[in-house]
Structure 1
Amino acid sequence: MKRLTVADLVDKFSLKVLTGEDQLHKTITQSRAHRPGLEFVGHFDFFPTERVQILGRKEINYLHKLTNDERSVRIGNIVHYHPPCFIVTAGEEGLTYLTHYCKEEGIPLLVANTVETTSEFVIMLDAFLLKNLAPEISIHGVCLNVFGVGILLRGQSGVGKSEIAHTLIGRGHRLVSDDLVVLKKLSPRTLLGTHDEKTKEFLALRSIGLLNVVRMYGRKVFQDETRISLDIHLTKWQKDALNNELEHEPSFTEYMGVKVPSIEIQLQPGRDVAGLIEAAANNWYLRQSGYSAAEEFMRRIEADFARNENE
């Protein structure tokens, strides 16, 4: 299981540590934060104790209105479960009592010095947790964003993946990762492609060497991540292996249980593979909108046949 620490959150969101400086090594394993509400009135049946706990203006105002004895009970009931940390988004004024209980239980109490609302902060925090705690694998290939479509290029070493990626970059598309692609499963239907930091911005071309595409062509040719929508397998040309059906049966490649539409493109000198990849990306967009060129063609054929029968 992947883990983050409370210290990672402090660094990422520039959080102020009010107490628990020696507990920032605590691990975080849940990809969503929680705002306690029912827990303050004693309902703990579904309390997600392993989540980061967020206290916004609503929660802090409620605690401020309680008597000392009531606060002791309400806060004591929650800190008893030892969540990884508390993050307050309503400023640090009047938090002496909360600091006391967190210090007693060894729970980090953090303050977000942010202009965002609590809801906006929770959205950003959840997105960070989801990406960094998502299951992931690394595969050999190239990841690109073509016309806004995340594409994974696969094929045997030396087949020309990086060279094709270079051509697509020259046509205005973006590189995400070359050689090693990190795939993260964000949901049962969502796969994110990114790099492993070491390969960030680099493209390796045989006979040329290692290129930093951002230094050569500008920031616009690179992006950190993309949702994978197409898996394209590049293979060597095989005579008579290609067919001319109007529309191929859909095929998929599965990564960590996520099915990605897959196509095969055979390579041959003089074949515009980059253009075919652009066509595949645009065709994917049309399919998402419910359009099929093959179905429209067949409707035209059927309409023409019907007219001829009526003449």
Structure 2
Amino acid sequence: MKQITVEDLVHKFQLKVLAGENRLQNVITQSRVHRPGLEFVGHFDFFPTERVQILGRKEVTYLHKLSEEERKIRIGNIVHYHPPCFIVTSGEEGLTYLTHHCIEEGIPLLVTKQPEITSDFIPKLDAYLIKQLAEEIAIHGVCMNVSGIGVLIRGNSGVGKSETAHTLIRRGHRLVADDIIVLKKLSPQTILGTHDEKTKEFLALRSIGLMNVVRMYGRRAFQDETRITLDIHLTKWEKDALYNELEQEISYTDYMGVKIPSMEIQLQPGRDVAGLIEAAANNWYLKQQGYNAAEEFYSRIEADLEKSGTQGSSSQ
């Protein structure tokens, strides 16, 4: 199971540590945070104790209004479960009592450097945790963002993946990763493609060598990550192996249980592979908008046949 530490959150979000400095190595394994509202009033049946606990203005205001004895009971009931940490988004004013409890129980108490709207802070923290804790694998290939569509370009070594990527970059599309692609499963329907940091911004071209696409073509040539939408497999040309049907049957590649639409593009000298990848990405986008070229073509044929039949009947 993947995990990060409380210290990682401190660095990422520049949090101030009020208590538990010696427990910043507490591990976090859950990708969603929790606001302990019901727990403060005594309901613990579904308390997710392994999640980061967020205290916003509502929670802190409620605690401030309690008597000292009642507050001691309410907070004591929660810290007893030893969550990884507490993060307060409403400022540190008046939190002496909470600091005391966290010191006693050895729980990190963190506060944002500036008061934040809790409903804005939680999505940012959730998104970070989801990415960091996501199941991931590494595959060989090139990952591109083509007209806003995340595309995997795969194939045997030397087939021309990086050269195709270079052509796409020169046409205004963006490199995400070359050689090693890190795929992260963010949800049962979502795969995120990114690089492994070492290869960030680099593209390796045979006969040319390693090149930094940002230095050569500017920031527009690269982006850090993209949602994977298409999986394209480049293969060597095989005579009579291409299909000429108007509508190709959809096939899929499974990555960590997520099925990604896939297709094969055969290579041949003079064939515009980059252009075909652009066409594939744009065609997929149109289908998501409800348009299907083959369906429109067939409807035209049917309309023409009906028209011909009607004219034939009227002439008899």
Equivalent position of 2:244 in the other structure:
244
> Alignment identity in percent?
77
What letter is aligned with 2:35? R
> How has the CA–CA distance of structure 1 residues 23 and 224 changed in structure 2, closer, same or farther, with 3 Å as cutoff?
same
Equivalent position of 1:170 in the other structure:
170
What letter is aligned with 2:83? P
Equivalent position of 2:55 in the other structure:
55
| 1:58-137 alignment, distance < 5 Å | 58-114=58-114, 116-137=116-137
Equivalent position of 1:209 in the other structure:
209
What letter is aligned with 1:242? L
**Partners of 2:286 and 2:6 in 1: CA distance:** 44
**Partners of 1:115 and 1:62 in 2: CA distance:** 17
Moved beyond 4 Å, runs of 4+: none
**Partners of 2:296 and 2:114 in 1: CA distance:** 53
Relative to the length of structure 2, the TM-score reads 0.98
Deviations 1:225-255 (A, max 9, x none): 0000000000000000012100111110000
Equivalent position of 1:289 in the other structure:
289
What letter is aligned with 2:295? E
Q: Which structure 1 segments of 5+ residues have no match?
A: none
CA contact (8 A) 2:91 2:115 kept: no
**Partners of 2:258 and 2:62 in 1: CA distance:** 43
**Partners of 1:249 and 1:275 in 2: CA distance:** 21
**Partners of 2:217 and 2:22 in 1: CA distance:** 45
Q: Does 1:235 align with 2:231?
A: no
Equivalent position of 1:7 in the other structure:
7
Post-superposition offset of 1:216: 1.1
What letter is aligned with 1:18? L
Aligned length: 311
What letter is aligned with 1:277? I
Q: Does 1:262 align with 2:289?
A: no
CA contact (8 A) 2:23 2:108 kept: yes
**Partners of 1:163 and 1:98 in 2: CA distance:** 59
CA contact (8 A) 2:90 2:116 kept: no
State the secondary structure of the residue aligned to 1:78.
Answer: helix
State the secondary structure of the residue aligned to 2:90.
Answer: coil
**Partners of 1:278 and 1:102 in 2: CA distance:** 56
Equivalent position of 1:182 in the other structure:
182
Equivalent position of 2:149 in the other structure:
149
| 1:273-288 alignment, distance < 5 Å | 273-288=273-288
What letter is aligned with 1:287? K
State the secondary structure of the residue aligned to 1:269.
Answer: coil
Post-superposition offset of 1:113: 1.7
Relative to the length of structure 1, the TM-score reads 0.99
Q: Does 1:219 align with 2:201?
A: no
State the secondary structure of the residue aligned to 1:145.
Answer: strand
Post-superposition offset of 1:115: 5.4
Equivalent position of 1:26 in the other structure:
26
State the secondary structure of the residue aligned to 1:207.
Answer: coil
What letter is aligned with 1:266? Q
**Partners of 2:124 and 2:236 in 1: CA distance:** 44
**Partners of 1:114 and 1:227 in 2: CA distance:** 32
**Partners of 1:40 and 1:115 in 2: CA distance:** 22
Post-superposition offset of 1:116: 3.6
What letter is aligned with 1:268? Q
**Partners of 1:6 and 1:106 in 2: CA distance:** 13
What letter is aligned with 2:97? Y
Equivalent position of 2:306 in the other structure:
306
Q: CA RMSD in A?
A: 0.6
Equivalent position of 2:139 in the other structure:
139
Deviations 1:173-197 (A, max 9, x none): 0000000000000000000000010
State the secondary structure of the residue aligned to 2:261.
Answer: strand
Post-superposition offset of 1:114: 3.6
Q: Which structure 2 segments of 5+ residues have no match?
A: 312-316
What letter is aligned with 1:240? D
CA contact (8 A) 2:195 2:224 kept: yes
What letter is aligned with 1:136? E
What letter is aligned with 1:152? L
Equivalent position of 2:314 in the other structure:
none
CA contact (8 A) 2:90 2:115 kept: no
